[in-house]
Amino acid sequence: MESLCGLTLGADPEGFWDILEERRRSSDLSHALRTFNPQHYCRITTSSSSTINRTVLKSQYLRYITQEIAEETGEPVELVREEAAGILEEMAQNLQLGFIRLLAFSLSKTFKRLFSSIRVNEEGLSRLQAAIKDHPVILMPTHRSYVDFLVVSYILFTYDLPIPVIAAGIPLMGMKLIGEIFRRSGAFFIRRTIGSDKLYWAVLSEYVKTLVRTGFAPLEFYVEGLRSRTLKSLSPKLGMMYMILEPFIKGEVFDISLVPISISYDRVLEESLLTHELLGVPKPKETTMGLLKARKVLEENFGNMHVYFGVPVSVRDLANGKVNRSQYNLVPRDLPLKPSEDVRVFVGDVAQRVVRLQEQGMVLSPWSLMALVLIQYPEGLDWDLLTQKTLWLKGLALCYGARLDWPEQVSNLEMMSSHLALHHTVARCEKGRVLLVEEDGLHGAEPVSEEEGVLRRAAVVLICASYRNQALHVFVRPAMAAVAMTTASSVRKLDVFSQFRFLLDVFANEFIFIRNNAEQDFDQACALLQRSGAVCADEHSLNVTEEGQTTLHFLQTMLEPFIQTYKMVFRFLCESNAQVFTERNFTPAVRSFAVKLILSGELQCYECLSSDTQKNAISALLNIGAVTKSRVSEQTEFSVNKAAVMRIADTLDGHTPSLMISHSRL
Ligand SMILES: CCCCCCCCCCCCCCCC(=O)SCCNC(=O)CCNC(=O)[C@H](O)C(C)(C)COP(=O)(O)OP(=O)(O)OC[C@H]1O[C@@H](n2cnc3c(N)ncnc32)[C@H](O)[C@@H]1OP(=O)(O)O
Ligand SMILES: O=C(CO)COP(=O)(O)O
């Protein structure tokens, strides 16, 4: 079968093509050394990295800011400019085709060992090719693994598309040799927390804006800001998003195309490390030695990967009627301007929409559905029951519009058994019963303390939960409506909606919802519940059907670990003697509170140990106003309004009408 650039590749019924198939049949060296002649942006003004750097340093914007900083600090302006040049030198990429070829060769070898297939939607690449010619393009992939940025560049190279420049966290720069190879493969390095460093913000934003204005190359950045430890989408970071959109907002480019990219893994390379971070184990430092030591991962199989290139989104279309760009006609475009309220809202809205599109492009593996069932049976369940429930769930997922990797020509038994085998480190079938498998600890199979036992159990539960999380975006709206139906004061749609809206507020950091979209979310939730026959609705009420009990119960149980974790955090805040917590102490203190509750038998939910969910619970309280945040002597502190937290906990239980909470905004 033919692909975009004439390669012979394997297609599956969903329109995905396995790019490794060709690699398994022909020389990796010829692939790496083949003619590479991509079509660039039609108005590209430079293809030289050093010209980009010079343009940044000479820009009016940077001159203005360096002058301003010199006046504020009393430093000579030349010194400030030198500092700016130093920051730029640390940051700038230096893309060279030779390094791309080198990596193309090594990655072909590595990917073939790690993955059974890498499937790419070719029509998405054709759309991307067209978009690249017309406007500056921003590639926005999901971030679940270090493999993400490698595979995106690899695919673009394979399909003869321009190699992107990529915003990379600075720790990667520190890796001996690898850091430099990455820089020459298009990475530009940014500090992880910039805080109030005015000069750094200025250099970074001018650098990013120059890349966009000149159309030097597609710009790739990870709007979630880090790899999601839970495999669930993270709330987007807005700093870089703002810089990228600014050239359009200020009328310097006609349009910008944002391309969401959804990367779905059957099995994530870093599954165990990422999960342990959720339990408080520090992330290993990125070093070349660490990478070499990790090479035993090459002995494992990680199944299939799907990379879905979404439909390019026109920023111009999104901005229509939402941003008043004429306000920028009155001031020179080079001068810094604080973003107006409409721009701030717009940037956040764009980022949320892209993350939603990323979710919609994700491909679910059978294991993800199996994990959804398995996690609801912590003591394990019979294989037959797992099969029956997973197949039922497959039907529900399809009914809710999920993109599933479940080929019809393979039997269900074969599909499920092979996926269980792929995840042999997490679950196993013994005597017809499927059970979660705990990893051995540092000191062998037996835990040395009760606490270690809890954390070990939590590790495997959290890995399983992360694969469940891959599918949550498909179910979260109907699941929230299902929960709202149990706690609402009546079956009247108005009452259920008010409870639903409260849940949206509480879980705003947990799941991706677009701001001010509650009514559409609710309508969609009701429509899906109706479509699956779980409820029948008329204009004013929602009623559970007889056969809908099972669906509703399943959906409610799906959200239970999140509800339990939030309640546990609320309880911790209310029972603690202190009214104020430092950010640093919060997670360890909540963790030991949760471990105690589990050991005492008061809490059965091991997912409550996830620091990610605990932090989201605090963020929810901050958003609602029940907790406030302040900086006190270099530390972030949370002050808790215990009465407000209790009312939220009550509403979550359905004891207090949600309207009171939403309207008073506490
Ligand atoms: C063929 C084969 C080839 C293979 C070839 C391989 C290629 C191999 C390449 C390797 C490549 C690796 C790639 C790795 C992938 C990652 O490393 S992912 C991690 C790095 N990327 C990102 O993080 C991107 C997304 N992050 C952001 O946008 C973040 O906002 C930033 C820019 C990093 C800043 O982070 P932050 O300091 O935490 O800031 P943030 O929370 O966004 O904002 C802080 C405050 O600054 C304010 N602020 C925002 N903008 C500004 C501004 N311009 N001026 C002043 N203040 C501002 C905000 O309003 C905010 O204020 P508050 O609301 O808190 O009051
Ligand atoms: O630096 C990154 C490279 O992927 C992402 O940050 P984390 O390592 O925190 O996920």
Following DSSP, what letter does each residue of 420-437 receive, concatenated? HHHTTTTEEEETTEEEE-
Atom 45 of ligand 1: nearest residue by CA position:
195
pLDDT (mean) for 220-249: 97
Structure tokens, 219: 């710009």
CA of 230 to the centre of ligand 2 (A): 14
pLDDT digits (tens, 9 = 90+) for 361-405: 999 999 999 999 999 998 999 999 999 999 999 999 999 999 999
In this prediction, residues 458-472 reach a mean pLDDT of 98
CA 297 to chain centre: 23
Over the stretch 115-127, which tens digit does the pLDDT of each residue have? 999 999 999 999 9
Q: Which ligand is nearest to the CA of 221?
A: 1
- Amino acid 663: pLDDT: 35
pLDDT-derived band at 1 (thresholds 50, 70, 90) equals: very low
Q: How far, in Å, from the CA of 225 to the mean position of ligand 2?
A: 7
Measured between its terminal Cα atoms, the distance across the chain in Å is 61
**DSSP 8-state secondary structure symbol assigned to residue 521:** H
| 2 pLDDT more than 70 | no
223 three-class SS = coil
CB 403 within 8 A of CB 361: yes
- Whether residue 300 has pLDDT greater than 50: yes
Q: Which CATH superfamily is domain 2-35+93-267+302-358 in?
A: Glycerol-3-phosphate (1)-acyltransferase (3.40.1130.10)
Give the model's pLDDT for residue 649.
94
DSSP alpha helix (H) spans, 444-547: 450-487, 493-506, 518-531
Q: How far does the centroid of ligand 2 lie from the alpha carbon of residue 143, in Å?
A: 8
Model confidence pLDDT, tens digit, residues 416-429:
999 999 999 999 99
What percent of the chain is modeled with pLDDT above 70? 95
225 CB near ligand 1 (under 6 Å): yes
Q: Sign of the C-alpha dihedral, residues 270, 348, 354, 257?
A: negative
Q: Could you identify the atom of ligand 1 that is nearest to the CA of residue 181?
A: 8
- Is 104:223 a contact under the CB 8 Å cutoff? no
627 lines ligand 1 (CB under 6 A): no
Work out the burial of residue 633: count CB atoms within 10 Å of its CB; fewer than 13 is exposed, 13-18 middle, 19 or more buried: exposed
Q: How far apart are CA 654 and CA 502, in angstroms?
A: 11
- At 660 the pLDDT is 47
Which residue's CA is the nearest one to ligand 1's atom 52? 201
Both tokens of 465, joined, read 């939960």
Whether the predicted pLDDT of 213 surpasses 60: yes
C-beta of residue 328 within 8 angstroms of C-beta of residue 143: no
pLDDT in tens, 247-270: 999 999 999 999 999 999 999 999
664 pLDDT above the threshold of 70: no
Burial of 204 (0-12, 13-18, 19+ CB in 10 A): buried
pLDDT band for position 633 (50/70/90)?
confident
Ligand at shortest distance from the CA of 229: 2
How do beta strands 219-220 and 137-141 pair?
Answer: parallel
Residue from 143, 144, 152 to probe ligand 2 pocket by mutation (most atoms less than 8 Å from CB): 143
Residue 144 in contact with ligand 2 by CB distance below 6 A: no
Q: Tell me, what amino acid is at 88? A: L
Non-local (6+) Cβ contacts of 397 within 8 A are 364, 369, 404, 471, 474, 475
Q: How confident is the model at residue 338 (pLDDT cuts 50, 70, 90)?
A: confident
285 CA distance to ligand 2 centroid (A)? 11
Q: What residues contact 377, with CB distance under 8 A and at least 6 apart? A: none
The CB of 174 under 6 Å from ligand 2? The reply is no
Average pLDDT estimate for 519-537: 96
The ligand minimizing its distance to the Cα of 201 is 1
Copy the structure tokens of residue 532.
């699956």
**Residue 108, pLDDT above cutoff 50:** yes
Rounded mean pLDDT of 192-211?
Answer: 94
Which has the closest alpha carbon to 229: 290, 167, 276, 191?
276
- Cα–Cα distances (Å) from 36 to 97, 150, 163, 183, 185, in that order, read 9, 18, 10, 20, 15
In this predicted structure, the answer to whether residue 10 has a pLDDT above a threshold of 60 is no
What interface predicted TM-score (ipTM) does this complex get? 0.94
591 and 280 Cβ atoms separated by less than 8 Å: yes
Lowest pLDDT segment from 290-304, 481-495, 581-595:
290-304
Q: What percent of the chain has pLDDT over 90?
A: 83
For residues 490-525, b (16+ Cβ closer than 10 Å) or e, as one string? Answer: eeebebbbbbbbbbbbbbbbbbbbeeeebeebbebb
pLDDT score at 442 = 59
Element (H, E) at 416: helix 412-422
Check pocket membership of 146 for ligand 2, CB cut-off 6 A: yes
The rounded Å distance from CA 227 to ligand 1 centre is: 13
Give kind and range of the element (H or E) at residue 64: helix 60-73
Instruction: Give the ligand whose atoms come closest to the C-alpha of residue 192.
Output: 1
Please give the helix or strand (H or E) that residue 120 lies within, else none.
strand 117-121
The position carrying tokens 């406007």 is 135
Range 289-305 average pLDDT? 88
Query: Per mean pLDDT, which range of 8-17, 377-386, 458-467, 619-628 is the poorest?
Result: 8-17
Q: How do residues 135-188 score in pLDDT, each as one tens digit?
A: 999 999 999 999 999 999 999 999 999 999 999 999 999 999 999 999 999 999
CA distance 660 to 665: 8
Residue 11's pLDDT is: 46
Nearest CA to 452 among 437, 436, 439, 467?
439
pLDDT > 50? residue 6 = no
pLDDT for residue 443: 62
What CATH topology corresponds to 500-653? Arc Repressor Mutant, subunit A (1.10.10)
Q: Residue 640 burial by CB count (10 A; 0-12/13-18/19+): exposed, middle or buried?
A: buried
Q: What is the pLDDT of residues 547-595, one digit of tens each?
A: 999 999 999 999 999 999 999 999 999 999 888 899 899 999 999 999 9
